[in-house]
Structure 1
Amino acid sequence: MVEKFLWQRMRSLVKEYGERVAAQVLAVKTGLILPHDDIAATVAEAVRGIVEDGDIVCVTEAVVARSQNRYLSCEELAEQVKDIFGLKPKSTLAVVYPIASRNRFALVLKAIAMASQGGRVIVAFPVPADEVGNQVIDAELARVRLGLKMLYKHLSSARGSTPYLNILIREVIAALTLQSLGYSIVGMRKILGSGIADITVRTPEGVLAPLEVTFVEHERAARKAVEILEDMPEAGQALAAGVDLGRKEFALFDARRYLEGDREPLRQVSFAEQLSAFAEEEVIHGRELPNEVFCHPITGIDYRRLYSEVIQEAGAQGDVIFTNNPLKVYELGYLDGIVLGEVHNRQERRDLFLALGAKVPVKTLDELGPSPWGVIGSNVSDYEKGILKLLPEDADGTAEQIRKRILKDTGKDVEVLIFGDGAYKDPDTGIYELADPYPALGVSEGMRDLRLRTGKKLKLVVDTLYNKGYSREEIARLVAETREEQSDLGTTPRRLVSIAATLADLLAGSADQGTPIVLVRGIKRD
């Protein structure tokens, strides 16, 4: 009764103030929609008495796919992956640039790991975020570390003729080792030109500290660090580090305690096994930073650890790397296949691998799983049981069926759109809300040939005409007549179906209204 009253009230307001209301977006609730339900009949019944001629009826892909029983288990997907790549036991697969999402990709990764049959799965993340903006590694840490690794490589190749470079090399090794131990590099006097100590760090406990580096003169380094501490009122600790390039050992000391006679290192580690990784200037291996936790700023999830655990639980060995050069996966040993995890850049990425003569199969996510989308845009249906919900089958055809059913049951001539993620970037989280291939996954026949929608920037037109001295009445007339005086600058071209789908997702999906149907009314289609 309340909803009916609200609809009637809204209609009366629109009628009363019709000239002011240019467009409306209306969310519609339904009952539960379950597998094998008649989605066309359900939607037609839900919009009865509400829908009007010319409306765009937007239906979320989630309920359409559910009505089609579009589900896939990890076991089923693993078998398909094995067949596609021709995998044998103990195979090695690389997964390049997947979306960082428990909901969107964790079960897909589990199936890939299962398909390796006790083998190895390498996950390559881009730096510092995936293609939709999910942060996978701290941007500043990655920037500093990759810069230090590049410097280490160049210094190492040049020091044969310049032994003095060992002084810089020891500081680079110290900084890289400190990062591995969970310390943040704040400044480096000689190398980064910042700070007044050899290295300024923030400890794992969050304490700012000057640190002096030496080969063997630990007492001298400790004394200097304590002196620098007196000039850094914001610092709470002084540190000294010894780097033995011959033995490849690193020792870290509390400078004050060292001068008081306590020579026990805070940390003492060998960096022998890390030297090869230090020289990889384009790659950060997950194992380099075992003490770092890369929590997503919004979800709080460390996707490096989550994906490693998913792979291990599926019985395979997991390795995670961070690199902006996807071809680096070829340098990590023999591969039996490569899965490209991106949604929007998948074809360009595939072309890159194939152009360089890929000798192993390279597949995109839409080639894994049932057509037409494979596992692109899939969501977790049951995490514990390992069940994925896929995108709808024949979304265009389904949209047309819904349109015809609405016309039959209500007499209203509408268009229908099946929507996924809306194409927008959240300014608060930095996440680009488009993990599906398109905002509009399917549309009825009347919307399939719509061109990119363009228009004049009305705000610029009004400002321009006002600055030319036109009166209010003249501006209104010229705007209505679209005279030549208007600016040639247009609005950003977008397809109407993408605009409508984004509006629908903002209201139904992101606002979490429990409204799988959204009516978009009054938007011009030309």
Structure 2
Amino acid sequence: MPTDDIVEITLDTVKDTVQDGDIVCVTEAVVARSQNRYVTVDELVQDLRCKLSVGEEGTLAVISPIVSRNRFVLVLSAIARAVRRGKVVVQLSVPYDEVGNQVMDEDFASSRFRLKKTLGSLLEVRGNTPQMNVLIREILAALKFQELGFTVTAIRKITGKGIADITLHDPQGRHLVVEVTFEDMPGTAEKVLRIASDSEADGALVAAVDLQTREIAIVDAAGLLEGTAKPHVYPYSDRLALYDARDVITLGEIGDRLFPHPITGIDYARMYAKAIEAEGAKCEILYTNNPLAVFNYGHIDGIVIGAVHERESLKNLFLSFGTKTPMLTVKDVGPGPWGVIGSNVSDLEAGILKLLPDNADDVCDTIKNRVEEATGKDIEVLIFGDGAYKDPDTGIYELADPYPSIGCSAGLRKASLRQGTKLKLLVETMFRQGRSREEIAKELATRPPSRDSLGTTPRRITGILATMADLAAGSADAGTPIVLIRNFPHKSQGA
């Protein structure tokens, strides 16, 4: 809790257990709370306005934030409140954010970017070539089907797959075939029904694309011939500018289509848009891996780089582009030393964030000295955040903090990288050479390290320890904010 003495709490927890050489790991969450490390959305609003020299009618761009309700939604609320009569343009990397959270379905993203690029190329070279218009109609129809929630699996003349002009799956997963025309819908309906029968499709559609009136009419083929269905007409004049942005997909152009996160079920782009609009600001969400695309959506008064690990490289990208726009990274927003990097929601309704600890190394040294004073044991202390591991099932890289280790005591600060020779490779090699178990053991005991040997990947010891602690603590949901690690070599000479 705020103002608790984390040094004495840690001592009371480990004093009856700790041994020489142990490493006591304390989660950053309890350290930060003991330091009363909180910031409000309103405080961040004032900080943003001051540092970016922006007023409430300005436009701010947010670059490559991670998608997380816990980690970023209140930061985004502060950004939006800072320009509550203006606009926020959010650039989201696709298909995943920098820590592996799904932002957009990967197949949809790659398909739509490919369709838009192909359409642009065809429009540039078509001239008076009728065959180009055939392809253009089919791509325009495919783009519209995507916006209506269908999944385009093939465009025969472009992908070389399928026996119909377009092959789809509808939102219910049914396999559909589509023939595209520009005038004869009944004749096309008869044709596509034959194709559907031959391919055992679940249904057949007709799409009539008029390049002059810029309209797309879509109808169920069987219903058209039976007189039970009428074409639904979709004007697309207002979509051409969106299609022309070949490396950008906007939230507005995909209609009601959702991209729920496979674990949380949240469509983070729509959640972010809702958070921005709740503060009164207008919102533009851009799905793109080109951060500079934000400049195509109006004058930008300030830039906030939302990425954690890529923040400096993204900042350098904008600087190399020659931008003079005021710019902050998430490390620059809010109090030091880390700004809002690694922050968590403390109270969503009240708009309060918990920050990372301050003076983390000093806290570790103080705990180390206090434990030695009380127990006589020589230990090391580490404050851990997110572990640096990637979940093989979800593909999520858990590290949303700047580093796994937020701070550590002096002995760990001096520790070298952990590296060594692959013993299993040496053992197998010597075994195949006919060496006995005893000979192999003797060789390993006396063999000096060699630069020619295959070695393990060098890793920072504090990163390994912090990751172990985070995995054991279970993100503190198991009520284990303090983890003790024993028999782990960490001194410089023994690493």
Q: Which residue of 1 aligns with 2:74?
A: 107
1:92–1:116 Cα contact (<8 Å) kept? yes
Q: Which residue of 2 aligns with 1:258?
A: 224
Give the distance between the partners of 1:412 and 1:473, measured in 2 at CA. Answer: 38
**Equivalenced residues, count:** 491
Q: 2:343 aligns with which of 378, 400, 406?
A: 378
Gaps of 5+ in 2: none
Give the distance between the partners of 1:484 and 1:40, measured in 2 at CA. Answer: 40
Specify the code of the residue in structure 1 equivalent to 2:49.
K
Residue 271 of structure 1 deviates from its aligned partner by: 0.8
Moved more, 323-332 or 485-494: 485-494
Give the distance between the partners of 1:222 and 1:161, measured in 2 at CA. Answer: 28
1:54–1:414 Cα contact (<8 Å) kept? yes
Give the distance between the partners of 2:245 and 2:390, measured in 1 at CA. Answer: 33
Q: 1:441 aligns with which of 406, 428, 440?
A: 406
Q: TM-score, normalised by structure 1?
A: 0.91
1:242 aligned onto 2:208: yes
Q: Which residue of 1 aligns with 2:102?
A: 135
Q: 1:458 aligns with which of 385, 408, 423?
A: 423
Give the distance between the partners of 2:272 and 2:113, measured in 1 at CA. Answer: 22
1:52 aligned onto 2:26: no
1:89 aligned onto 2:83: no
Residue 195 of structure 1: SS of its match in structure 2? Answer: coil
Give the distance between the partners of 2:56 and 2:43, measured in 1 at CA. Answer: 17
Give the distance between the partners of 1:418 and 1:36, measured in 2 at CA. Answer: 18
2:65–2:305 Cα contact (<8 Å) kept? yes
1:271 aligned onto 2:240: no
Give the distance between the partners of 1:253 and 1:511, measured in 2 at CA. Answer: 54
Pairing 1:502-513 to 2, within 5 Å after superposition: 502-510=467-475, 512-513=477-478
Q: Which residue of 2 aligns with 1:159?
A: 126
Give the distance between the partners of 1:505 and 1:416, measured in 2 at CA. Answer: 14
2:421–2:449 Cα contact (<8 Å) kept? no
1:98–1:340 Cα contact (<8 Å) kept? yes
Q: 1:208 aligns with which of 148, 151, 175?
A: 175
1:460–1:487 Cα contact (<8 Å) kept? no
Output one character per residue of 1:427-449: Cα deviation in whole Å (capped at 9) or x when no partner: 00000010000000101111112
Give the distance between the partners of 1:91 and 1:412, measured in 2 at CA. Answer: 58
1:242–1:252 Cα contact (<8 Å) kept? yes
1:123–1:320 Cα contact (<8 Å) kept? yes
Output one character per residue of 1:316-363: Cα deviation in whole Å (capped at 9) or x when no partner: 111111111111111111000111111111111101101111121111
Residue 177 of structure 2: SS of its match in structure 1? Answer: strand
Output one character per residue of 1:109-147: Cα deviation in whole Å (capped at 9) or x when no partner: 000000012211111111100000000000000000000
Residue 263 of structure 1 deviates from its aligned partner by: 5.0
Give the distance between the partners of 2:74 and 2:387, measured in 1 at CA. Answer: 23
2:56–2:81 Cα contact (<8 Å) kept? no
Specify the code of the residue in structure 1 equivalent to 2:481.
P
Moved more, 250-259 or 504-513: 504-513
Residue 95 of structure 1: SS of its match in structure 2? Answer: strand
Specify the code of the residue in structure 1 equivalent to 2:63.
V
Q: Which residue of 2 aligns with 1:229?
A: 196
Q: Which residue of 2 aligns with 1:499?
A: 464
1:461–1:487 Cα contact (<8 Å) kept? no
Residue 161 of structure 1 deviates from its aligned partner by: 4.7
Specify the code of the residue in structure 2 equivalent to 1:96.
I
Residue 190 of structure 1: SS of its match in structure 2? Answer: helix
Q: Which residue of 1 aligns with 2:308?
A: 343
Give the distance between the partners of 2:77 and 2:56, measured in 1 at CA. Answer: 16
Output one character per residue of 1:173-199: Cα deviation in whole Å (capped at 9) or x when no partner: 000011111111011100111111100
2:22–2:379 Cα contact (<8 Å) kept? yes
Give the distance between the partners of 1:217 and 1:355, measured in 2 at CA. Answer: 54
Give the distance between the partners of 1:210 and 1:490, measured in 2 at CA. Answer: 55
Output one character per residue of 1:253-288: Cα deviation in whole Å (capped at 9) or x when no partner: 1001111234512x3211111111111111111111
1:461–1:486 Cα contact (<8 Å) kept? no
Q: 1:185 aligns with which of 145, 152, 166?
A: 152
Give the distance between the partners of 2:325 and 2:92, measured in 1 at CA. Answer: 20
1:489 aligned onto 2:489: no
Q: Which residue of 2 aligns with 1:116?
A: 83
Query: In the superposition, relative to structure 1, how do residues 512 and 89 fare at CA in structure 2: closer, same or farther (>3 Å)?
Result: closer
2:26–2:481 Cα contact (<8 Å) kept? yes
Give the distance between the partners of 1:364 and 1:221, measured in 2 at CA. Answer: 55
Give the distance between the partners of 1:113 and 1:303, measured in 2 at CA. Answer: 16
Pairing 1:294-333 to 2, within 5 Å after superposition: 294-333=259-298
Q: Which residue of 2 aligns with 1:8?
A: none
Q: Which residue of 2 aligns with 1:17?
A: none
Q: 1:514 aligns with which of 462, 476, 479?
A: 479
Give the distance between the partners of 1:380 and 1:240, measured in 2 at CA. Answer: 50
Residue 199 of structure 2: SS of its match in structure 1? Answer: coil
1:283 aligned onto 2:215: no
Give the distance between the partners of 1:349 and 1:252, measured in 2 at CA. Answer: 43
Residue 206 of structure 1 deviates from its aligned partner by: 2.1
Residue 353 of structure 2: SS of its match in structure 1? Answer: strand
Q: Which residue of 2 aligns with 1:416?
A: 381
Residue 465 of structure 1 deviates from its aligned partner by: 1.1
Give the distance between the partners of 2:315 and 2:70, measured in 1 at CA. Answer: 24
Q: Which residue of 2 aligns with 1:74?
A: 41
Query: In the superposition, relative to structure 1, how do residues 484 and 322 fare at CA in structure 2: closer, same or farther (>3 Å)?
Result: closer
Give the distance between the partners of 2:274 and 2:179, measured in 1 at CA. Answer: 38
Output one character per residue of 1:222-260: Cα deviation in whole Å (capped at 9) or x when no partner: 111101111222x21111001111111111110011112
Give the distance between the partners of 2:17 and 2:71, measured in 1 at CA. Answer: 34
Q: Which residue of 2 aligns with 1:11?
A: none
Residue 246 of structure 2: SS of its match in structure 1? Answer: coil
Query: In the superposition, relative to structure 1, how do residues 484 and 37 fare at CA in structure 2: closer, same or farther (>3 Å)?
Result: closer
Residue 269 of structure 1: SS of its match in structure 2? Answer: strand
